[in-house]
Chains A and B, each alone.
Chain A
Amino acid sequence: MLLHVENLRKIYGTKYNPTVALDGIDFFVDEGEFVGIMGASGSGKSTLLNCISTIDMPSEGKIVLDGKDVSKLKDSETAAFRRNNLGFIFQESKLLDTLTVEENIFLPLTIQRKQYDIHNKVKKIVEQLGIDDILMKFPYEISGGQKQRCAAARAIIANPKLILADEPTGALDSAAANSLMLTLEKLNKTNLSTILLVTHDPISASFTNRVLFLKDGKIFHEIMKGEKNNIDFYNDIVNVLSFLGGRGN
């Protein structure tokens, strides 16, 4: 068991006007899983991701990652924890505009650690992701889809225990989105990377093997892919979403 979230609560606002973003979340994630988290916003999925990634602090509850309770970490320790254990893919790639693609990718490896053989590590990953021809380019010179693949490379290069992806296909058109999801699927299957994916898009979610649905700060439902293919899984997801009702298509 890699990740254990126990009775997680997050409350914003004041005592008299509180907003309950997370209202008691419990779940496990094992190593090698590819988990999707869906739900309308206001349902708390981004908040959940922020708490797990130590960017935000929960009001109550425990988050245990690889045996360590990250909810108890001090502010000064969270950055260290992130760099040693987590990888991130955001909606807007968040590549540093002044660095080349190659430099963006190996950046995590240079933070306070002795690393050997960085060059080869980069080489291996970019070949795997199909971006070895743009290593010397700058982010403004490449397309959105390519940027996200670079972000994915950056996310995995330090061999993190957990990869967190927050709407990574949000700003991409369907072709690029498809390509990215295939990449993530491959990473999960061949590298056995554990991935937590937050998305609103059922197509993207269909690439995962397990989807948690959030509603009003709680886990409403959970479905597994099992042996199904993506299309069937997609239909299951859409059914749950329409059952969730009201919002979205």
Chain B
Amino acid sequence: MEIVKAVGLKKYYITETYEVRALDDVSLSIADGEFLAVVGTSGSGKTTLLNMLGGLDVPTEGGVWIRGSSLKDMEPEERTIFRRRNIGFVFQQYNLVPVLSVYENIVLPLRLDGTRIDEELLGEVAESLGIIEKLERLPQTLSGGQQQRAAIARALMAKPALILADEPTGNLDSATSMEVTGLLRSCAERFHQTMVVVTHQEEVAQMADLIVRLEDGRICERGER
């Protein structure tokens, strides 16, 4: 089943002095449970693509369908709720709320949605991510890698169909990078989630099922493992 479909995505920023084509006709399709890595140099459009897929931004042309629903056609509030229920985000800046404990941060999306918290699952996830002892702490007392892992736990807890990660290991050293990517992958396999990871690190990309390379807003290479 096709979880993500993007057709003819274009994102142009036009001013009087110049025209920037962040995305210039990008189409792709991701099946259920696949792990896609998006690579390319900075400025190639990777982050813009991710923002489109996650409904954080609207394309100038083209459309995105998640589980058959068109993001473009939703009202902003509708999109917010859709995102909450179907997409998990892991961004480079960990985006943890500083005044809440790690536990409270992880369950925040669930609480917002009013869903029951599966404590057992949380325990498992926290354990496999190695942060089970830090649950009561505040984010600033954790190291960079630990904060990132907490953000991943948060993304996983809602069991979304799709997880979008933008340079999730960008600020981490390489072994932690590999660890975190590996965890993402194994959790995704376990809960049968689809994963899209934007990265500039080749070794992270090499853990993916599919690789797409962007350059100047276009796909210049597709690869499969």
Do A and B touch directly, given a CB cutoff of 8 Å in the complex? Answer: yes
Residues of A within 8 A of B (CB): 40-43, 46, 144, 167, 171, 173-174, 200-201, 247-249
Q: Is the CB of A173 within 8 A of B176?
A: no
Task: For A171, give its contact among B174, B176, B178, B200 (CB under 8 Å).
Answer: B200
Q: Any chain A CB within 8 A of the CB of B206?
A: yes
Interface of chain A, helix or strand or loop or mixed?
Answer: loop
CA distance A171 to B202 in the complex (A): 11
Q: A174-B202, A249-B203, A249-B206 are in contact. Are A200 and B174 (CB under 8 A)?
A: yes
Q: Given the interface contacts A144-B42, A173-B41, A173-B200, does A248 sit within 8 Å of B175 by beta carbon?
A: yes
**A41 / chain B contacts, CB cutoff of 8 Å:** 173-176
* B interface residues, how many (CB within 8 angstroms): 13
Contacts known (A41-B173, A171-B200, A174-B202); A247 close to B178, Cβ less than 8 A: yes
**In the complex, what distance in Å separates the CA atom of A248 from the CA atom of B178?**
7
Contact B175–A247 (Cβ < 8 Å): yes
What's the minimum C-beta distance from A231 to chain B, rounded to whole angstroms?
18
Q: Which chain A residue lies CB-closest to B40? A: A173
The answer to whether B200 and A200 touch across the interface, beta carbons within 8 angstroms, is no
> Which interface residue of B41, B170, B174, B202 has the most chain A CB atoms within 10 A?
B174
User: How far, in angstroms, from A171 to B169 measured CA to CA in the complex?
Assistant: 11
In the complex, what residues of A have CB within 8 A of residue B174's CB? 40-41, 200-201, 248
Show the binding face of B for A, using Cβ within 8 Å: 41-42, 170, 173-176, 178-179, 200, 202-203, 206
Q: List 30 A-B contacts (CB under 8 A).
A: A40-B174, A40-B175, A41-B173, A41-B174, A41-B175, A41-B176, A42-B175, A43-B175, A46-B173, A144-B42, A167-B173, A171-B170, A171-B200, A173-B41, A173-B42, A173-B200, A174-B202, A200-B173, A200-B174, A200-B175, A201-B174, A247-B175, A247-B178, A247-B179, A248-B174, A248-B175, A248-B178, A248-B203, A249-B203, A249-B206
Q: What distance in Å separates the Cβ of A146 from its nearest Cβ neighbour in chain B?
A: 13
Residues of chain B within 8 A (CB-CB) of A248 are 174-175, 178, 203
Which residues of chain A come closer than 8 Å to B41, judged between CB atoms?
173
B contact residues around A171 at 8 Å (CB): 170, 200
Q: Complex formed: what's the CA distance from A173 to B205 in Å?
A: 13
14 extra interface residue pairs, beta carbon distance < 8 Å, beyond A173-B41, A173-B200, A200-B174: A40-B175, A41-B173, A41-B174, A42-B175, A43-B175, A144-B42, A167-B173, A173-B42, A174-B202, A200-B173, A200-B175, A247-B179, A248-B178, A249-B206
Compute how far the CA of A240 lies from the CA of B176 in the bound complex, rounded to whole angstroms. Answer: 20
Q: For residue A58, give the distance in angstroms from its CB to the closest CB of chain B.
A: 20
